[in-house]
Structure 1
Amino acid sequence: MAVPVENDGDWTDPTGSRSVTGYMPIENYGLIGNMRTSALVAIDGGLDYMCWPEFDSPSVFCRMLGGHFTIGLPNTLNVTTKQQYVLSSNILQTQYLQEDGVLNVVDFFPRPTVKSTAKAEALNGIHPGARRMPADPRTVLKKWLVRRAECIRGDVDVHVEIFPAFNYARDKHETEIIAIEPSGSEASRKVVFKSASLSLEIHATIDCDDSPEELRPKLVFEKKQKPSYLGLGVYAVVHLREGQSVSFVLRDHIPAKDTVNDHITNALLDQAQKDTATYWYTWISQSKYKGRWCEKVNRSLMILKLLTYEPTGAIIAAPTFSLPEAFEGTRNWDYR
């Protein structure tokens, strides 16, 4: 059963595309992924569908079940949105254009630039437990979801709402907001969501640049309850001026005592984004097709690659389970 969408009235759906049913038409989504799982991001900034950590894992975000992760602008503004992939990559970019400012949101799952040699070592008779040099960070797949919001003109009030719905919205969860001491030109916030079978954290990094203290972005998460929901979500508003940004990383929650290096910086995220762009560009550059509709052919190839489950090489039939062509319509297919 679908959970009715609560209309917050003051900021959700600046595009008006959800006005009829409360849900976005299926064609108004972009797909991102890391060849382990994937997510659907709507043109209004709603991440409305994601299973974690694998394609066939239970959903964490599913708008029809009440779970979502939304970054957007108030619907009281006259907002125009544009969504496209960064050239030759599976990094998704959504722009919000309105009179007072322009917001750019970049969504991706990181990919390493160099393929891991673990399989090659095994084939060469090297025991998995044998002593070896520390792993090259370029070969390590970071199981992260990264969402980065930057004001590129004027100033904007960015609204963020995060409501996970663990295990197809069957598991209750607890929510904890953790403050982290600011460091130099950056400040961080963390939110931990714990269910019976899975714990995830959102790590927010604010780029304060060199602005005076009074002009630096302020991000304060507040807990929020929705009717008939399985746990508290969080809500925040951050005012960004031109050149300022805030980034969100979703990943598995690891207790502090087990964490070796927990500090996520903008420089680290910049490198992850660069490596991801390099990975996809390097892969699609192998295509020799130069004929008609080359750009569309290459985009189709990249989507098929994105839907490949890397450990086995199998291409999944669909990244979703039974999402309808039209909400409450009859054209449903469950590829699971």
Structure 2
Amino acid sequence: MRSARRRCETARVVTPIEDYALLSNCRTAALVSREGSIDWLCLPRLDSASTFAALLGDETHGRWVLRPDDPDARATRRYDRDTFVLITRWQSGDAVAEVHDFMPIDPDPGVQIRRTDVVRRIVGIAGEMAFTQRLSIRFDYSRAMPWVRQTGTEAEPQLVAMAGPDALAVRGARLTAVDHEHRGEVRVSAGEVRDLQLVWFPSHRPAPEPLDVDQVLEVTKTWWQSWADRIEHAGPHHEKVVRSLLILRALTNHETGGIAAAATMSLPEQIGGERNWDYRYVWLRDAALTLEALLDHGFLGLADSWREWLLRAVAGDPADLQIMYGLAGERDLTESVLSALPGYAASAPVRVGNGAWGQYQADVVGEVLVTLSAARAAGLKDSEFSWPLERSLLRFAADQIEHPDQGLWEIRGPARMFTHSRVMMWAAFDRGVRAVEQHGLPGPVDTWRELRDRMRDEIDRRGVRDGHFTQHYDTDEVDASLLLLPEVGYCAADDPRMLATVARIEQTLMHDGLLHRYRTQSGVDGLAGEESPFLACSFWLVEQYASTGRRDEAAALMDRLCALTNDVGMLAEEYDPVHRRQLGNIPQAFSHLALVRAADALSDGECTPR
């Protein structure tokens, strides 16, 4: 009974997912709520164990709150131009102050980094304002209560916490232990600046020196703004496109080149449900699609970095290819349940790792080869090992050609012949043929051409019923992934089969004007419960509309989708139109790259095949 009561209390006070903003140093990320609480932070890397995990529980699971004493203080927030320096402006009566939250970024990723910092700068604007600081440190997904000691002086207070391999130093204001957390007060007057610093470091090393905040703030802002200024985009929803591309960059590891699918883990697709997954890893598919979005807007250099990451990650026997890896190419992502965390809004289980790493998903090779083909067309030169890598991936695809798979959506039910997966196998062989015919690269082009034609014949015979494409060969159900078929050039957007597919998708998968991935009631995914509309799917529909003359519908749907971003431009995985809230992991690369491509389609007037 006590456990049930606690779950209900947690659900009542939970912070909405869309109330969070992102801080990033392109190595890890923090989520900051509107109320000034950092409720999620994994150190030192995005896929490391958490230090603050109130997001998946409550204040006892780790957080860092900085907000005015006045409970009625009002806040507005924004990023400082095109950066991840978050400025929260607080007003309490006649007093006004700002908190500038950021994670310093090292502009040279080649330097070995032994520290990770979070800075919270308080700037007095008018009058005097008192801020409360509440710090609860819980290492290792809230399983390790640290040993904490005061090591500073009265003039320069410093708190050091450590447990196992992890240590933190917190500086800038005195903190006192109260009920398993540390509390303190900071006052600022107009024109005054106070800096609070948190630094992670390996516990076997001494605490790093304090930062020169003025210097690292300027370096960090300059780095982000310079990157944003290189974005090539002119068209509708420009600000949303720029912020989405910045988010995709923030999810790209500065040192390894690995591109994470999201910054969080186990945020639910259904409140109280079991569809809670860890998305802090590199899905080859998601990374390839992210890279394409970056390529389309002028970032050819990132393609080279990611290709090098790919070479390292998949080195060895092609038969050992995985669909996902750690940020540095780690292979073992075994999924387990964390009993120490009750879950967001009591949505359990909380999972770390992801069991999908062991799945066979037939579309992945196609996604990778389509992206590498686009990079080659954009001017990326082949390295000594890049074309041999692509040839080995094609051999792998040929060896697996008869095998059913788990599909784009990582179905945990039986493997099937998913139509989208089979089309992506067609695309893999098609890009192999193009590499030989258009770029003169060596390879068994006759074999690849035969396999490509074989796949088309099979798909046209078995993946179409009643004039529309199907989710898999043994059903007449449809799936939103079918909207991607024109993108890879399998058919035209106005192919009669595509038009019939869109009509069926609108009929069976659209609710409140937004698309679900597929009908969960069909039982194909092997999971209990429901889910909300998947945002990327609706962006794909924008592209389809734009490509078939339904411009007004495309623009209207795009406007609605862009309005679902939160106040700092972030999207999660799904949106619940009934309760008007975002659901799933945030920020979600899939959602943001789909936004970028939909905006491009509206600008071009058509979906450009990849």
Q: 1:69 to 1:258 in 2, by over 3 A?
A: closer
Other-structure match for 2:232: 288
Q: Does structure 1 residue 68 correspond to structure 2 residue 40? A: no
Among 161, 168, 173, which residue is 2:146 paired with? 173
Q: Is the 8 A contact 2:38 2:52 kept in 1?
A: yes
Measured in 2, the distance between the counterparts of 1:68 and 1:159 equals 13
Measured in 2, the distance between the counterparts of 1:257 and 1:107 equals 26
Local SS of the residue matching 1:83:
strand
Among 35, 45, 48, which residue is 2:36 paired with? 45
Q: Does structure 1 residue 162 correspond to structure 2 residue 135? A: yes
The one-letter code matched in structure 1 to 2:237 is W
Q: Is the 8 A contact 1:89 1:281 kept in 2?
A: yes
Q: Does structure 1 residue 148 correspond to structure 2 residue 145? A: no
The one-letter code matched in structure 2 to 1:189 is P
Measured in 2, the distance between the counterparts of 1:141 and 1:174 equals 21
Measured in 2, the distance between the counterparts of 1:25 and 1:257 equals 38
Q: 1:263 to 1:332 in 2, by over 3 A?
A: closer
Q: Does structure 1 residue 251 correspond to structure 2 residue 246? A: no
Q: Is the 8 A contact 2:27 2:253 kept in 1?
A: yes
Q: Is the 8 A contact 1:25 1:326 kept in 2?
A: no
Local SS of the residue matching 2:216:
helix
Q: Does structure 1 residue 81 correspond to structure 2 residue 72? A: no
Local SS of the residue matching 1:32:
strand
Shift of 1:254: 7.0
Q: Does structure 1 residue 262 correspond to structure 2 residue 209? A: yes
Measured in 2, the distance between the counterparts of 1:326 and 1:94 equals 30
Structure ranking higher in strand proportion: 1
Shift of 1:23: 1.9
Local SS of the residue matching 2:141:
helix
Q: Is the 8 A contact 1:47 1:70 kept in 2?
A: yes
Q: Is the 8 A contact 2:115 2:200 kept in 1?
A: no
Q: Deviations over 1:51-102 (max 9, x none)?
A: 00001100000111521000002354x3221121110111111111121311
Q: Does structure 1 residue 321 correspond to structure 2 residue 265? A: yes
Q: Is the 8 A contact 2:43 2:49 kept in 1?
A: yes
Shift of 1:180: 2.5
Among 158, 167, 170, which residue is 1:202 paired with? 170
Shift of 1:257: 9.0
Q: Which runs of 5+ in 1 are unaligned?
A: 8-17, 119-134, 183-187, 205-218, 226-231
Q: 1:178 to 1:234 in 2, by over 3 A?
A: same
Q: 1:246 to 1:2 in 2, by over 3 A?
A: farther
Q: Which runs of 5+ in 2 are unaligned?
A: 280-352, 354-610
Shift of 1:310: 2.2
Shift of 1:276: 0.3
Among 177, 190, 193, which residue is 1:223 paired with? 177
Shift of 1:140: 7.1
Q: Is the 8 A contact 2:49 2:140 kept in 1?
A: yes
Q: Deviations over 1:241-285 (max 9, x none)?
A: 1122221211135789956x7244xxx101101100000011111
Measured in 2, the distance between the counterparts of 1:257 and 1:57 equals 19
Among 137, 158, 161, which residue is 1:190 paired with? 158
Shift of 1:291: 1.4
Q: Is the 8 A contact 1:100 1:156 kept in 2?
A: no
Measured in 2, the distance between the counterparts of 1:324 and 1:159 equals 31
- Max Rg structure: 2
Q: 1:306 to 1:254 in 2, by over 3 A?
A: closer
Q: TM-score, normalised by structure 2?
A: 0.42
Local SS of the residue matching 1:308:
coil
Shift of 1:295: 1.1
The one-letter code matched in structure 1 to 2:149 is E
The one-letter code matched in structure 2 to 1:299 is R
Q: Is the 8 A contact 1:156 1:241 kept in 2?
A: yes
Q: Is the 8 A contact 1:46 1:71 kept in 2?
A: yes
Equivalenced residues, count: 273
Q: Is the 8 A contact 2:167 2:203 kept in 1?
A: no
Q: 1:4 to 1:318 in 2, by over 3 A?
A: farther
Measured in 2, the distance between the counterparts of 1:2 and 1:319 equals 29
Q: TM-score, normalised by structure 1?
A: 0.73
Measured in 2, the distance between the counterparts of 1:140 and 1:172 equals 25
Q: Is the 8 A contact 1:145 1:250 kept in 2?
A: yes
Cα RMSD of the aligned pairs, angstroms, is 2.9
Measured in 2, the distance between the counterparts of 1:327 and 1:75 equals 31
Q: 1:269 to 1:192 in 2, by over 3 A?
A: same
Q: Is the 8 A contact 1:192 1:253 kept in 2?
A: no
The one-letter code matched in structure 2 to 1:243 is G
Local SS of the residue matching 2:225:
helix
Measured in 2, the distance between the counterparts of 1:258 and 1:46 equals 27
Q: Deviations over 1:90-125 (max 9, x none)?
A: 111111112131121111111234x35x4xxxxxxx
